[in-house]
Chains A and B, each alone.
Chain A
Amino acid sequence: MKFLLRRLIRAVLLMVGVSVLCFLFTEMAPGSFFDEMRLNPQISPETIASLRLRYGLDQPLATRYLHWVKGAAHADFGYSIAYNSPVAPLLWERAKNTLLLTTVGMAFTWALSLPIGVWSASRHDRLLDRAVNAGTSLLISIPEVVIGLTLLAIVVRWRILPVGGIHSLDSDGLSRGARVLDTVRHLVLPVTALVLLETSIIVRHVRTSVVEALQQPAIDAARGFGIPRLRLLWRHVLPLAASPIISLFGFSLAGLISGSLLVEVISGWPGLGPLILDATLSRDLSLVIGGTMLSAVFMVGGNLVADVMLLATDPRIRIEEADAH
């Protein structure tokens, strides 16, 4: 438990760090949402002053930060000026879609990259392995925007799939099953883009750690006992390689969440990405801060899950803990 506690404290510190950074940036930022209003002759300076008072923008930074933390503890992330509504429900509405996209994307990414990585490692330096290597190198070096836009161009051009949104316009009249199918069809493009972005990186890491595991004496011994190849790979090699792969799961989250922002904007998926982009363009700062924090929460949450999994699969950590007592 000590291991988990340490990770938990680290996660909390990380969140505090992110929020402090966000607030420092607001302070440094020249101009504000009200600058545009100031140019409007129909809005008097008094109105703007009272608006500033209402949103607490006249308070010093530290006071505002403490106020925000107090609110955030009750899942209140402030008030969006552009949408004229509290930030939390806005974020939650979109975060559900982002979570759906990233979870499905992650599931497919891992379902693809784990077998490919293990397989490629087991054929180390042969033709297949080299092909996988070359393919992943190429995919990694191609920028994310390019992959997203190219996919979109293909899909839009040949009208293979619906683009944009999460439902079709006429989906209200459909039966329950048809509606789910409709959503699935909308998911295909963003998920494919996300999988293409992430798979190459994960395949490479999986391959490296499996290659390392294959070189350990335990595996030679197992091979000596005549354990069949597939069973050897999945039952003996993979557990040996599990620790770095599970840590990778935590690390890959940051990339996945960043990638999903881009993919959402390009494919018109109504997740957090387009919301934050619009908020950035309209300088709706509390929404931007809330969104950035939420992305950090996803990150940290995912990392904690990875830590729990690490604790469950790696006996060395459990033994270290026992030794510490």
Chain B
Amino acid sequence: MRTRTRALIVLAIGLHLILLFAGFIAPSDPAAQNRRLPYAPPNRLHFHGVDGWHVRPFVYRMVPGADGYEEDRSQVFPVHLLVRGASHHIVGLIASNWHLFGVDEPGQIALFGTDGFGRDEFSRVLYGGQISVAAGIAATLIALCAGTLVGLLAGFYGRWIDESLMAGSELFLSLPWLYFLLGVRAFLPLHLSPVRTFFLLTGVIGLIGWARPARLVRGIVLSVRSRNFVLAAQGFGASDIYIIRRHILPEVFAVLLTQAALLVPRYIAAEVTLSFFGLGVSEPVSSWGNMLSALQQYSVLVSYGWLLAPIGALVITSVIYALLADTLRSHLEFHST
């Protein structure tokens, strides 16, 4: 059990590090178009060429052929580690042009193929992951903060505050959230700069989600408040703020952690869904959702299967988070009983 938890945490950290260092790991600029290579299939890594076996994997150039693309076998492009290429910013701060791997000009390496503008799908998945996962985490933070605040108020002060806040949460809980999300999105401007869209989107997703955490927090506050040591503290003249900080928040924190692990993948999916509908982050910035929206055309879906790559990334992320939530829950429940 212990090793499994540790392995999961390492996996989760690894996933986020990969996304954080997307610029370094991605071989190309995610916005760089190559009009001569639209919808090119993924480059295959070869070890065996016309001149025998190679230690270093290499790729061939893709050239338009009779039926789609074919490999130009006349020239090999070995894959080098740590090469200089397109400039990018590490963690958004330090300018650099080092990449984890790459091939010499004029070769290209597109591990997941290219999209309709000839952009490298692999790089776009990594960069898009930054946006989608960041949106999920930010929305979760907003939902949890708002939910905790409401839950504390309702649970601690009770009476009409409690009743009106819980009635409000019931309203938000009972709505089909996707309709609600679209409804709220409809009232916001359609065309915005990607940065503003990002903040609007996370705000909307987060603010719709406050109800569930609020109810959970309220329940915990109610149970903690009736315990004897809290009553004693109150009897000694402890202020509300002190009791909330010293006795209630530590109890709430454990539950919020599990909630966060549950909510992040859900909100990543919400961002992906909205962007898939064309209501989210817009081109040229990539997100898993707007990358998938090209697949709304059946012809693209049928012919260029590698464009489903963001789905794979999304599934991996969601499963890691779900497993994390599962272990967290079992650990914390064990702790509290």
Interface residues of A (CB under 8 A from B): 13-14, 17-18, 21-22, 25-26, 28-31, 137-138, 140-146, 149-150, 152-153, 156-157, 163-164, 253-255, 257-259, 261-262, 265-266, 276-277, 279-281, 283, 285, 288-289, 291-292, 295-296, 298-300, 303
Chain B residues 292-322 with CB under 8 Å of chain A are 292, 295-296, 298, 301-302, 305, 308, 311, 314-315, 318-319, 321-322
Q: Determine the chain B residues whose CB is within 8 A of the CB of A14 once the complex forms.
A: 170-171, 174
Question: Which residue of chain B is the closest to A265 with respect to CB atoms?
Answer: B277
Interface size on B, residues (CB 8 A): 49
Q: Which of B279, B301, B322 contacts A141 (CB 8 A)?
A: B322
Question: Of B167, B182, B189, B265, which one neighbours A288 at CB under 8 angstroms?
Answer: B182
Choice from B184, B268, B322, B326 contacting A25 with Cβ under 8 Å: B184
CB-CB contacts below 8 Å: B257-312 with A: 265-266, 268-269, 272-273, 276-279, 289, 292, 295-296, 298, 301-302, 305, 308, 311
Q: What is the interface of chain B, defined by CB distance below 8 A to chain A? A: 167-168, 170-171, 173-180, 182-190, 265-266, 268-269, 272-273, 276-279, 289, 292, 295-296, 298, 301-302, 305, 308, 311, 314-315, 318-319, 321-323, 326
A261 touches B176 (CB 8 A): yes
Jot down 7 A-B pairs with beta carbons below 8 A, ordered by A: A25-B187, A29-B189, A30-B189, A31-B189, A145-B273, A153-B295, A288-B183
Contact B187 A285, beta carbon cutoff 8 Å: yes
Which A residues are in CB contact (< 8 Å) with B308? 149-150, 153
Minimal beta-carbon separation of A144 from chain B (angstroms): 7
Is B276 a contact partner of A145 (Cβ separation < 8 A)? yes
Interface of B is mostly: helix
Say yes or no: A25 contacts B190, CB within 8 Å: no
Shortest CB–CB separation between residue A282 and chain B, in angstroms?
9
Contacts of A291 in B (CB 8 A): 179, 183
When distances are taken between beta carbons in the complex, the residues of chain A under 8 Å from B188 are 29-30
Given contacts A18-B171, A258-B177, contact A146 B184 (CB under 8 A): no
B contact residues around A288 at 8 Å (CB): 182-183, 186-187
Distance A285 CA – B183 CA, assembled complex (angstroms): 9
Residues of B contacting A266 in the complex (Cβ-Cβ under 8 angstroms): 296
Q: Are A137 and B326 in contact (CB under 8 A)?
A: yes
B292 contact set on A, CB distance < 8 A: 145, 149
Query: Contact at B184–A261, with CB atoms within 8 Å?
Result: no
In contact, A146 and B314 (Cβ under 8 angstroms): yes
Residue ID in chain B nearest A284 by CB atoms: B186
Nearest Cβ on chain A to B311's Cβ, whole angstroms: 5
Q: Contacts of B173 on A, CB cut-off 8 Å?
A: 254
Given A146-B315, A277-B277, is A257 in contact with B190 using a C-beta cutoff of 8 Å? no
- Give Cα distance in the complex from A276 to B182, angstroms: 8
Is B311 within 8 A of A146, CB to CB? yes
A257 to B302, CA, bound (A): 28
Assuming the A-B contacts A14-B170, A145-B269, A280-B279, are A138 and B319 also in contact, with contact meaning beta carbons closer than 8 angstroms in the complex? yes
Residue on B nearest A138 in the bound complex, by CB = B319
Residue of A nearest to B270 (CB): A143
Q: Are B179 and A261 in contact (CB under 8 A)?
A: yes
Whole-angstrom distance between the Cβ of B203 and the nearest chain A Cβ: 12
**B176 and A156: CB pair below 8 A?**
no
| Contact present for A142 and B319 (CB under 8 Å) | yes
Considering only CB atoms, which chain B residue lies closest to A287 in the complex? B186
Which residues on A sit within 8 Å (CB–CB) of B276?
145
Among A30, A157, A261, the most chain B Cβ lie within 10 Å of the Cβ of A261
CA distance A156 to B302 in the complex (A): 6
